Structure 1
C-alpha cells in the first residue's frame, strides 16, 4: 500500500482544498489512515479498526454526491463505539453487550449524507462510565502525546484518533465531561452542544436525560462545520429539541470563580502555572471580568454520581449486569451498582430535581450574555496511578465538568498553552443552552487573538460622569446605539477631578505612582457610531485606554493632565455618583 504525503494533523479545510486540486483523493487518504492505525495498534484506539472492507462502500457513495454540495465530501471521521454505524457491531466497550444495528445513529446518518467517511469504531470507558480512558476490556487507550499518561475518557479512542492523525474529526459522547476531558488531555477542541441540539437516537444511553453527542477536532472551525451538518430536530428522538446556533458573538462579560481552582496529580504545579498564563490571556481580551461564587456548581456536580442520577444508569443497564456475571469491567460495575442503592428512591429523585432547579436558575441568570471559564481538568494522572486508585482519580477528573449537563449548559474545550512539554492544558467555556454563539465567539477570539468581521461590531466604552445612567448625557450614549453592560471600577491608578465646566463634569487622569480605584460604567457601542460620538467630546476630555480593576484595558473617557492644575481633586469620593449633589 503506497503512502502519500498526508499531514499528521488532519484538517477538513485542507483536505477539501487537496481534493479540489487533485493532490489527494479520499481513497488514498483512507488507505494511509489504515496504515497509520496499524502502526498505532499499541495505543488501543479502536474496537472496530479502519479497513477497506468497512470504508469502501462509503467511498463508492461519493460518486453520487456533488463535492460542491456535500460539505464533508471525503472527510474521514471516527465514531465512539456506543454510537451506531449500520451493519457494524456496537459494543459500548463490552463484548457480551454487542449488537449489530440495522441503521445509523441520526448524527452518523447526517454526516454520511454530507459526504463524510466513517473509518472505524473507537475504544471507550465501558458503557461511557469514566473520565480516564482505562476502563475498557479492549485495552487502556494511551495519551496521544505522552503514552504513559491517561487519554481521558470516556471518549478515549475518539480523541486519540484525531490527535494521532487517524481522522479529521470524531464523534464522542458527553454526560459528565467525556467530550471535553479527552480533548483537553490530547490538545484538541472538544465541542459539547446543548442538550437536545444534536439528536441522541442510536446512542447507547448512559444517562439519557443528560447524554450529548460531541465532536473532537483539531480546530474550532472544523468543529463548527460538523455542528452545522449534525444540528437539528429529530422527531424520532424523544430528547431532541430545536436549537439554532446564532452567528458568533462576544459575550458582554467573562465569569471566573472567586476561589482558586484545585489542581491535583503529579503535574499540579505545572497545571497551576498554565492556568495563571491562561488568565493573563483572558484578561488581555478586553472583556469585563466578574468573579462569582461557584460553590453551587460543585454541589450540583455531586448529584451526578453521589446522588440519584446514578440510578438512571442502573435503570438502563442493571438487568444486563445482573444477568451477565463478570461480563462488566470491575470498576465500572462497582460504579453502576451504586445506582441500585435503595436510598435512591422516588423521593430522593424529586428532592434532587427540586434542588437542581434552583441551581439551574442561578446559573442561567449569571450566564445571561456571559461565559464562564474554568480549567477543563485540574490535572492528569499516569495510567498506573489510575489503576492503583481508580475511583478517586476518576472523580478528580470530573471536578470542573460534571455540573454542565445537569445545569443545561453548552460547553467547548479549547487548548491553551501546554503546561509542560507534551502536557496539554485545556480551558472550558460554558454558557446557557441558548448561548452557543457566545462560547464559539469567545473561543475564536481566545484561540485566534482577533475579532472576526462577524464579531467585531461593537466596542466597550468606560464612562465615569454625565454619560452614566440617569445623568443628562446618557441620551448621547443611547442615541449612538450604546447599551449598558455593567458597573465596575478602574485599577487603583487614577485621580478624578471636577472640571469647571457648565454643567460640571469629572475628568479621569492616570497617575504614575499612586491613585484610587474609581467607579465607572461599561457600555457597549457600535463601532460604526464611535467616530460620530467622539466628535461630541469637549476638551480637555477625550477617549483613551482605561485600565480596569481586573487588569484588562478598555476604551474610555480620559482627561488631559494639565486640567488638574486648576481643578478640584475629588478622588476621595470613589466615583461621580458619590459626590453630594
Structure 2
C-alpha cells in the first residue's frame, strides 16, 4: 500500500474514531481523496519531487478550496470557488492533499470557536472547554492527529489562540508574507493566513511553500514604509518581558507557567529585558471597541443586512451584532483612531527597542463552553488581550506550547517586528523538548561548523571528556574534522563539549550528516552516555591517529 493512500485511509478512520463532526464544514468523499492520493504516489514513484507528498491538510472554511463550497461559517453565504486560493494551490503543488474545509467562528469574527451554525468546536483535550477561534476546526483537526497541517486566518489572534488551547504550533507570519487572495476577508487590511502543525519544523516547512516568492511583492507598498532590519547573529537572544502585574487577571497557575517559561529561556542564555505592555494592551482594545471594526462591515456587512431582512437564518447573533453595529461608526472616528494607533505603535516599537522578541502568554486563560455562553462578548474580549494588537502594529508572531496547567495545554507567544519570522522560530526552538549532544570536532565552540548548532538554538552545557575508550583521527575532509571511534581497551579520554538543543534540531542535524560521520552513543568520563558524532571505522584507514593530543583543539594548536 502506498504511503499517501495509507495515510488518507488512516485519517478517515481517525475521523470516525474521534467522532467530532463539528470540526468539518466540507469533508471530501473518501474515494475522491484516495484517488488523489494514488495520483500523488504515482508522481513520486515516477521521480517527481514533491516535498509535501503524503502530508494531509485541513483548510479553514473562509479559504477557497476548488470542489468544496466556501461558506465562511454561514450556509447562506456559500459559493463554489473557481479555483484554489493561491495558498492552497501552493501546498497542493508541493504534494499535500486537502481533506476538507473546517468550521470557524462565522466570518472569522471571534476567538472562541463557538459562533457557528455548524456547531461549537470543542477543545481537543477537554471537550467541556472551547477550542479557541476563529480557526477552531483547523486547530482541532491537527491536535487530534487527523491532519498534519492546517490553514487558518488571523486578524485578532485566530491563528494563535486555538493553537495555545490545543497544544500545537500556530504561525502568524508577517502581514502579506502569505497571499490572502481567495480568502473571505474579515479586516482585509490586516488579515493574515496562518499555519497550524504539531511541531515547529512541520509548520516552517509548510510556510516556506506558501509564502510570496519575492519580498518585493510584500514590501513594495507606499503606505507601508519598513526600515531595513539589522542583521542579527544567532543568540544570545534578547527577550522583552512585561511585569506580571501588567498581564492582568490570569487563570490559576498561568502566571507560574509563564514565569517558568521565562526562566527556561533565560537558562538557554537569553537576556531578559523589561517592557511596558501598556501600548500593546491599549491598542488591543481598539480592534473591536474602536472604528477599525468598521472594516468588518465593509467585508460582509451588506450581505448580513440583506440576510437579516429575510429572516437571518444561519446567522450567529453575536457575529451579526458586532458587524451590523460597525455600520454606523462615523468616519471621523476612524481618523482619530488611526492617529492614536500610530502613537501607540511608536511607543510599542520603542519598548521593543533592540529586543529580538516579546514573550507573552498567548491568552489570559481558557474558558469553558458554559462560561463563553454566559458572556460571549466579555469572554472573547479577554482572550484577545495579548493578540489583538499584533496585526494592528504590523508585527510577526508565533504561538508554541509551553507545558500544561491543571492538565490543560498552556501556550506562549513570541512577537517581533515585521519580517523577523525566522528569528522568532529560532528563539521558539529553545522552548521545545531538548536533548544533549556530544561534539569533539568541527562543531566545537569557535570551530567552522559551530554556527550550525547555534542556528538550531543549541546552548553549550559543559566541557568534559569521553570515557577512556576512544581514539581520535584527523579526516581529510573540508572543513577539516576528526573522526571519533570507540575502541574499548587501548582508548583514551578525548575533550568533549556537551550541547543542549531542541530534539527536532538533532533530527535535522542527523538528516544532513555526511558520511563517514554517524550519530551514536558516546560514553562520558562520569559514566553517563549521550548522543554524539562518531565515525565509521572504515573511513580511518588513511586518517592520522591524533589521540595523543587529547582533543581536536589541542591538535589544531600543536604548532
TM-score range, shorter chain: 0.7 to 0.9
CA distance in 2, matches of 1:135, 1:278: 32
Match of 1:284 among 267, 274, 278: 267
C-alpha distance in 2, partners of 1:163/1:313? 29
Cα distance in 1 for residues equivalent to 2:173 and 2:93: 21
Residue 341 in structure 1 maps to residue 339 in structure 2: no
- In 2, Cα distance between equivalents of 1:359 and 1:437: 25
Task: Report whether the alignment pairs 1:158 with 2:110.
Answer: no
Does the 8 A contact of 1:263 with 1:269 survive in 2? Answer: no
Residues 253, 290 of structure 1: 8 Å contact kept: yes
The 3-state SS of whatever aligns with 1:424 is strand
User: Structure 1 CA distance, aligned partners of 2:90 and 2:400?
Assistant: 25
For residues 107 and 444 of structure 1, the distance between their equivalents in structure 2, rounded to whole angstroms, comes to 25
1:107 aligns with 2:92: no
Q: Deviations for 1:203-248, whole angstroms, at most 9, x for unmatched residues?
A: 0000011100001111010011011111115899999989999999
Q: Is the Cα–Cα contact under 8 Å of residues 86 and 104 in structure 1 kept in the other structure?
A: yes
Contact 1:84 1:101 in 2 (8 A): yes
Compared CA separation, residues 305 and 109, structure 1 to 2 (3 A)? same
Q: How does 1:295-444 map to 2 (within 5 A)?
A: 295-325=278-308, 326-327=312-313, 328-342=315-329, 344-345=330-331, 347-365=332-350, 366-421=352-407, 423-444=408-429
- Pairing of 1:68-107 with structure 2 (within 5 A): 69-107=49-87
- Once the 2 structures are TM-superposed, how far is the Cα of residue 36 of structure 1 from its aligned partner? 1.5
Aligned residues: 434
Cα shift readout 1:74-119 (whole Å, capped 9, x = no counterpart): 2111000000001210111000000010101010000000000001
Which piece of structure 1 moves more, 377-386 or 359-368?
359-368
**Quick one: structure 1 residues 49 and 36, their matched pair in 2 at CA, closer, same or farther if it must change by over 3 Å?**
same
1:136 aligns with 2:122: no
Cα separation, partners in 2 of 1:371 and 1:330, compared to 1, 3 Å: same
Displacement, 1:368?
3.9
Distance 1:142 1:456 in 2: 39
Aligned residue in 2 for 1:146: 126
Deviations 1:235-272 (A, max 9, x none): 9999998999999944641001134254657xx11222
What is the TM-score normalised by the length of structure 1? 0.70
**CA 1:41/1:413 → structure 2, altered by over 3 Å: closer, same or farther?**
same
Q: Does the Cα contact within 8 Å between 2:430 and 2:458 map onto a contact in 1? A: no
1:256 and 1:292 in contact (8 A); partners too: yes
1:64 lines up with 2:51 in the alignment: no
391 and 459 in structure 1: CA distance in 2 versus 1, 3 angstrom threshold: closer
> Does residue 52 in structure 1 map to residue 30 in structure 2?
yes
Aligned residues of 2:178 and 2:193 also touching (Cα < 8 A): yes
Helix, strand or coil for the counterpart of 2:357?
A: strand
Can you list the C-alpha shifts for 1:406-434, whole angstroms capped at 9, x where unaligned?
0000000010110122x000000000012
1:386 Cα shift? 0.7
Q: 1:118 to 1:104 in 2, by over 3 A?
A: same
Measured after TM superposition, the shift of residue 67 of structure 1 is 6.5
Structure 2 segments unaligned to the other structure (5+ residues): 437-449, 460-559
TM-aligned CA deviation for residue 447 of structure 1: 1.5
Where does the alignment leave 5 or more consecutive residues of structure 1 unmatched?
1-21, 461-581
**Paired position in structure 2 for 1:260:** 245
Structure 1 residue 121, shift from structure 2 partner? 0.6
- In 1, distance between residues paired with 2:355 and 2:37? 44
Instruction: Indicate the residue corresponding to 1:119 in structure 2.
Output: 99
Deviation readout 1:484-509 (Å, 9 max, x if unpaired): xxxxxxxxxxxxxxxxxxxxxxxxxx
Alignment of 1:463-542 (within 5 A): none
Post-superposition shift, 1:273?
A: 2.5
Q: C-alpha offsets along residues 130-168 of structure 1, whole Å, 9 cap, x if unaligned?
A: 101111100110100110010000000000000111100
